Chain A
């Protein structure tokens, strides 16, 4: 059985489910909304086994051959918010989530992707060092509480962007004259600055050995939020040079990510910089624009991949 874990209205989860269902693969969507009626028995010792009790269905964990995990923060589910902390519902929701996370880490099933592999995205400068070690160029990066160091970095690179250091999503913004007067505020908390790289954004989705490239045409500093700044965004499929595709495959493999969304920028001189690796990419945004069969590739990966033993 192939287990998909998350919310049924999540685009990537729904897209992969549709492909698997259409191909009559044995797939089950473990809907987080149903957590209150979900029970789990998990044993981890010299072997791992257990049982998942769902509405009208009992699944032996050993029968699950692959997992596509895109769980939402359980504490933010409406049922959890309504119940509130200190309630039995809240404690059950957290305990179930924690136990499933533990199982996903240790199961011999093929998992897209294990939480420990996804963790590098929780510290962007840490992940940048891994990206660099894997052979891709990264922008010059400074994380600091020192306004003078930030100013010197700005003067050296002329154009600089700032963004969150952790995995918390933030809008990438250019450091402008209006910010320089307030630079002393960074003394309260380390802030990440990067040299601005001019060029065209390329999003690469690695799915097993398959690589899908998409180029993004937008004048926005952060094309994901182009609409907010009055910019347009146009996404088109693009061919990747073989060496670049191989580097992306290598990077995903070194991060132990069977599926990854890699953010690159190609300079006018043809040099590529890597900004980030998304360990659980929301690929449907790109798939809808390019028509690339990313959901199909993930579905085939889940259906065909052997467990890790």
Chain B
């Protein structure tokens, strides 16, 4: 089984679930966290139980999880009383971070302490990590004052997507290499990088751990990555 963790309003998630039906893909939304059956035993990930599609599913039956949420937001929880939504959203996010971090199967992107999908880094942190690894960056400037308008970001001219060891959106060897270097440095299997023309070359502007999966090639690549090392699956 492949689980796609997404908002109930994520049209791409529904499309992926339909395409991956032969691989047993199911959608899991934050509302599913309000169904009886979820279990997470700290230090015993093999005993974990999820609830997807209304069914209790042991962790061992989950080959992979595609995470399409940075957190559970209160507005996702319309089935919960308004006064309790902020608290429930925090609790569900905290639960999912622990649950997905420990899950034996492949999780893309595996949560970090502060986010459900990869590192909870601000753009400045991505820029610093990229720069330390020799990737040219377009420096990010912020001028903050009571009546100071926000600094505009440069236009992204090259949007590149890394999925495992594959790179989409460019044939430029330098861009390809930088994208792979940043993915390796951050330990993230799925991310997009936005570059702009800068000083006669390129400069990294932005990074996103929840990239658009807007082509069938990308969707296939994610599925193959999720099913890596999963016995008995045809990728």
Main secondary structure of the interface of B (DSSP, over half): mixed
Complex: how many Å from CA A166 to CA B113? Answer: 11
Which one of A13-21, A23-31, A39-47 contacts B? Answer: A39-47
A188 within 8 A of B: yes
Partner of A45, one of B43, B94, B127: B127
Contact A168 B139 (CB under 8 A): no
A102 within 8 A of B: yes
Residues of chain B touching chain A, judged by Cβ–Cβ distance below 8 Å, are 33-43, 49, 51, 80, 87-88, 90-95, 97-99, 101-102, 111-114, 119-125, 127-128, 131, 137-148, 150
Among the 9-residue stretches A2-10, A140-148, A244-252, the one with 4 or more Cβ atoms under 8 Å from chain B is A140-148
How many Å from the CB of B219 to the closest CB on chain A?
Answer: 29
A44, A120, A122 pick with most chain B CB within 10 angstroms: A44
Contact B128–A48 (Cβ < 8 Å) = yes
Smallest distance from the beta carbon of A113 to chain B beta carbons, Å?
12
Q: Which residues of A contact B143 (CB under 8 A)?
A: 39-42
Once A40-B144, A92-B145 are accepted as A-B contacts, the answer to whether A168 and B137 lie under 8 Å apart by CB is no
Chain A interface, DSSP helix/strand/loop, else mixed: helix
Q: Give B143 Cβ to nearest chain A Cβ, in Å.
A: 5
B97, B99, B140, B146 — which one has the most chain A CB atoms within 10 A of its CB? Answer: B146
- A166 lies within 8 A of B94 (CB): yes
Q: Could you jot down 30 A-B contacts, CB within 8 Å?
A: A40-B143, A40-B145, A41-B143, A42-B141, A42-B142, A42-B144, A43-B139, A43-B141, A43-B142, A44-B124, A44-B140, A88-B147, A89-B146, A102-B122, A119-B112, A124-B94, A128-B42, A132-B43, A141-B41, A142-B42, A143-B42, A143-B99, A144-B40, A145-B35, A145-B36, A149-B49, A165-B94, A168-B87, A186-B36, A187-B34
Closest to A124 in B: B94
Chain B nearest Cβ from A214, distance in angstroms: 26
Minimal beta-carbon separation of A31 from chain B (angstroms): 16
Q: Are B127 and A147 in contact (CB under 8 A)?
A: no
* Cα-based distance from A127 to B93 in the complex (angstroms): 14
A72 on the B face (CB < 8 A): no
Instruction: Report whether A189 and B88 are in contact in the complex, using a CB–CB cutoff of 8 Å.
Output: yes
How many whole Å from A123's CB to the nearest CB in chain B? 4
The complex places the Cα of A138 from the Cα of B43 at a distance, in Å, of 9
Residues in chain A near residue B147, CB distance under 8 A: 88
Query: Contact partner of A190 among B92, B120, B137, B144, CB < 8 A?
Result: B92
Q: Are B91 and A45 in contact (CB under 8 A)?
A: no
The complex places the Cα of A219 from the Cα of B199 at a distance, in Å, of 67
